[in-house]
Chains A and B, each alone.
Chain A
Amino acid sequence: MQLNTRLGEYGGCFVPETLMGALEELEDAFLKIFPGSAFQKELREFLTTYAGRETPLTFCTNMSRDLGCRVYLKREDLLHSGAHKMNNALGQALLAKHMGKKRLIAETGAGQHGVATAIAGAVLGLEVDVFMGEVDIARQALNVARMNMMGARVIPVTCGTRTLKDAMNEALRDWVARVLDTHYLIGTVAGPHPYPTLVRDLQRVIGDETKKQILAAEGRLPDVIIACIGGGSNAIGIFHPFIEDKAVRMYGVEAGGEGLDRKHGASLCGGRPGVLHGNYSYLLQDAYGQIIESHSISAGLDYPGVGPEHAMHKDSGRIEYTAITDTEALEAFLYLCRTEGIVPALESSHAVAFARKLAPDLSEDTIIVINLSGRGDKDVETVRRYMEGKQ
């Protein structure tokens, strides 16, 4: 490898030997093609005229009044495909095309990354196969239909936990077999080097825009930024450009599931470092290192690992990591619907829920930015059942 593969002590390249050539090839494209002005211009053009960047930074009048501070939402839910995943999928698909690859594979949990990859494949003329756990196929039927409509094959994953973790295992296995013509379009800031860095560089557009927008709106940087974390790509995307702005407090919100003492998906809050899916980072695992099944109401956060850059920021204390339970997230989903007329993804609802928890400690001139990473159409059925259950 030409670059340092570590982020702090985390990250690395823990993959079968057969994949090392493909990772070297990808790193080479990341160094040579990706920074070039032609590639950047083409990507910017796609993001602007096709995907709908920049996304708005919305001041929430009602929520601000209710919470007693100044609340902004970064509206990645308004991006084409309905989530921030589009930034990464378009960027990697374009890179794959420049590398001469014919086929994209992807893993997906909630289906948002699968949909974004299906879209990118359709518009760029690349074949797409998406690996998705059987459990997730059942709970995210709408997104499965969307992928199929755009010509992607959705391959059900029936091994292990039949969720995101095993979808990633299957995608890696497929890649080992088809490494010569296929690009593995990883959806988050995890996986082996150079993925965590590549995906972060494709998602940092969220934070770059936010910085410009908040300065225009308020004349200063925010006091607090909140984002949900599964693998952590939307969070790194908004956090990264603010890392050196030490006065900005940042919170990453993990899936607390049924509570940290029960089933959850909070690797940073409730796990310890280990190696899974090509990188060294925090994991949910038993004493021997066997991976433990994660749980979250939101398929996109239902993952026992997390990107290595978050592990680094956890240890340094630069970013604070916390968790929100399934019930708190569901309540925040309904809260944002009623208060602002915005339907958030259940993933993003975790960030909204934490803002509600934090608010009582904040003064009224405190500026909070919540990264609303995706929209919640896909979760309507889950939330409807929750509402019925409460009655």
Chain B
Amino acid sequence: MNRLKEAFETRTKSLLMTFTVAGDPDFATSLEIIKALENGGADIIELGLPFSDPVADGPVIQQADQRALASGMNTDRFFDLVREVRKSSDIPLVVLTYTNLILQRDIHTFYQDAANAGIDAVVVADLPYEEAGPYITAAETAGIAPVMMVSTTTSPERLIKILTVKSGFIYLVAALGVTGMRQKTDPVARKLLADLKSRTDIPIAPGFGISDREQVREWTEAGADAVIVGSALVRKIEDSLARPDTLISEITAFVQSLR
């Protein structure tokens, strides 16, 4: 059984999904950080496979992508890293990346390699429903869950089509704009969550702008199946890089502070 599916089906509370960029700031530290996230209480690990031109991401994740690429991260190394994680962990692993990196490896090869390495689901930030067909087919063939995104600007007609996909979860874009921390949750997005919950059994996971305990709690109470925290955590990593001795304990503490 898919680890992600099992996590959602056996959950007793909202799951915490943490996002970090694979290879930020380097391969070895990234592995340590992933362990710290799991130790701190993350239920699902979302890993960014960094792209040179991440148009959906704000400055914090852009810089993390740059640090990772500068330290030699690429698609081969990414799967190496996932295999390393899998040696000692059964935590559900989700990839977030951009279309071109999948396309250049060959769509089927990418999903097959991802499955072999131990990935459970793949989110593609610049791949709307209209373009996703071949990617969904390849994902399903490889036993990987595709993940569709829904935003408050998604039209009712498109939403109907998006809900026909057997997504591992629906990534609810909780704020207009790029990834990055926000002060408040968007009431329109909360309403969208309620609407989605009434229409589908697919788990819903809001992300974008969710940065602290208060916001995690709000989304949990609104009925989110999982809550995604990204930029705030990546910023924490960035801030802590100057203190390598306490980096790992600071990250564990940060994840613990989220609930």
Which residues of A pack against B, CB within 8 Å? 1, 5, 12-22, 24, 159-160, 165-166, 169, 172-173, 176-180, 274-278, 283, 285, 287-291
Contact residues of B between 210 and 247, Cβ < 8 Å to A: none
Determine if B125 is an interface residue (Cβ-Cβ < 8 Å): yes
**20 A-B pairs with C-beta separation under 8 A:** A12-B130, A13-B131, A16-B55, A16-B149, A16-B173, A17-B149, A17-B150, A18-B152, A24-B155, A160-B52, A169-B53, A169-B55, A173-B177, A173-B178, A177-B177, A277-B53, A285-B100, A288-B74, A289-B75, A291-B52
Residue in B53, B58, B178 whose CB lies within 8 Å of A291: B53
Question: Do A13 and B128 form a contact, CB below 8 Å, given A289-B100, A289-B101?
Answer: yes
B103 touches A289 (CB 8 A): yes
Residue of B nearest to A1 (CB): B130
List the A residue with the shortest CB-CB distance to B125.
Answer: A16
- Contact call A14/B127, Cβ cutoff below 8 A: yes
Q: Which 6 A-B pairs have the closest CB atoms?
A: A177-B177, A289-B104, A21-B153, A17-B149, A289-B100, A18-B151
Whether B126 is near chain A, meaning CB under 8 Å from some CB there, is yes
Count of residues in B whose CB is under 8 Å from the partner chain: 40
Q: Give Cα A45 to B64, complex, Å.
A: 49
Is B176 in the interface zone, CB < 8 Å from A?
yes
Bound: A21/B129 CA distance, A: 12
Known: A165-B53, A177-B176, A291-B52. A275 touches B125 (CB 8 A): no
Chain A residues whose C-beta falls within 8 Å of the C-beta of B59 in the assembled complex: 159
**Interface pair A275/B103, CB less than 8 Å apart:** yes
Chain B's nearest CB lies how many Å from the CB of A201?
A: 21
Interface centre among B55, B56, B127, B158, by most chain A C-beta atoms within 10 angstroms, is: B55
* B62 within 8 A of partner (CB): yes
Dominant secondary structure at the A interface:
mixed
Known A14-B128, A160-B62, A289-B100; further 4 A-B contacts with Cβ < 8 A: A13-B128, A18-B151, A20-B154, A283-B100
**Smallest Cβ distance from A272 to chain B, in angstroms?**
9
Determine if A173 and B58 form an interchain contact, defined as CB atoms under 8 angstroms apart: yes
A30 to chain B, nearest CB (A): 16
A17 to B154, CA, bound (A): 7
Please indicate the chain B residues that have their CB under 8 angstroms from the CB of A20 in the complex. Answer: 128, 130, 153-155, 158
Decide if B99 is an interface residue (CB 8 Å cutoff): yes
| CA distance in complex: A288, B72 (Å) | 12
Indicate if the CB atoms of B173 and A17 lie closer than 8 Å. yes
Does B69 count as interface, using CB distance less than 8 angstroms?
A: yes
| Nearest CB on A from B147, distance (A) | 11
| Cβ of B51 under 8 Å from chain A | yes
Which residues on the A side are within 8 Å of B62 (C-beta)?
159-160
Chain A nearest Cβ from B112, distance in angstroms: 17
Please give, as numbers and ranges, the residues of chain B lying within 8 Å of A169 by CB-CB distance. Answer: 53-55
Q: Are A274 and B177 in contact (CB under 8 A)?
A: no
Q: Does B105 reach chain A (CB closer than 8 Å)?
A: yes
B60-112 residues at the A interface, CB under 8 angstroms:
62, 66, 69, 74-76, 98-101, 103-105
- B150-177 residues with Cβ-Cβ distance < 8 A to A are 150-155, 158, 173, 176-177
B53, B76, B150, most chain A CB atoms within 10 A: B53
Contacting residues, chain B, for A18 (C-beta < 8 A): 151-153, 173, 176-177
Min distance, Cβ A303 to any Cβ of chain B, angstroms = 12
Cα-based distance from A160 to B62 in the complex (angstroms): 9
**B126 & A278 in contact (Cβ 8 Å cutoff):** yes
B66, B101, B128, B131: the one contacting A288 at CB < 8 Å is B101
Q: Is the CB of A179 within 8 A of B153?
A: yes
Q: How far is the CB of B149 from chain A (nearest CB, A)?
A: 4
- Could you tell me if B154 and A289 are in contact, using CB atoms closer than 8 angstroms? no
Query: Which partner residue on chain A sits nearest B49 by CB separation?
Result: A288
> Hey, which chain B residues are within 8 Å of A19, CB to CB?
153
Chain B residue at minimum C-beta to C-beta distance from A165: B53
Known: A12-B131, A290-B52. A176 touches B104 (CB 8 A): no
A13-B128, A18-B176 known; A288+B104 contact, CB < 8 A: yes
State whether A176 touches B177 (Cβ < 8 A): yes
Contacts of B74 in A (CB 8 A): 288, 290
Nearest chain A residue, comparing its CB with the CB of B56: A16
- Nearest residue (CB) in A for B175 is A177
Q: Quick one: CB contact mask for B31-63 with A, threshold 8 Å, 1 for yes?
A: 000000000000000000001111111110010
Nearest CB in chain A to that of B51: its residue:
A290
Residues in A whose Cβ lies below 8 Å from that of B131: 12-14
Given contacts A169-B53, A288-B74, A289-B104, contact A275 B154 (CB under 8 A): no
Are B126 and A15 neighbours in the complex by a CB distance under 8 Å? yes
Inter-chain contacts of B51 with A (CB < 8 A): 289-290
> How many Å lie between the Cα of A191 and that of B53 in the bound state?
14
A283 contacts which chain B residues (CB < 8 A)? 100
Known A-B contacts A20-B153, A173-B177, A276-B100; the reply to A14 vs B69 at CB < 8 A is no
Interchain CA distance A59-B42 in the complex, whole Å: 71
> Which residues from chain A contact B154 at a C-beta distance below 8 Å?
17, 20-21
The complex places the Cα of A275 from the Cα of B124 at a distance, in Å, of 12
A159 contacts across to B, CB distance below 8 A:
59, 62
CA distance A105 to B57 in the complex (A): 18
Closest B residue by C-beta to A193? B130
Cβ-neighbour of A176 out of B53, B56, B128 (below 8 A)? B56
Smallest CB–CB gap between B64 and chain A, Å?
A: 12
Is B99's CB under 8 angstroms from A21's CB? Answer: no
Measured CB to CB, the nearest residue on chain B to A22 is B153
Residues of A within 8 A of B125 (CB): 16
Q: Which residue of A lies closest to B126 (CB)?
A: A14
Shortest Cβ distance from A291 into B: residue: B52
**8 Å CB interface, B170-214 against A:** 173, 176-178
Q: Tell me, rounded to whole Å, the shortest Cβ–Cβ distance linking A376 to chain B.
A: 30
Q: Is the CB of A16 within 8 A of B126?
A: yes
With known contacts A176-B177, A276-B53, A277-B55, A17–B100 Cβ distance under 8 A? no
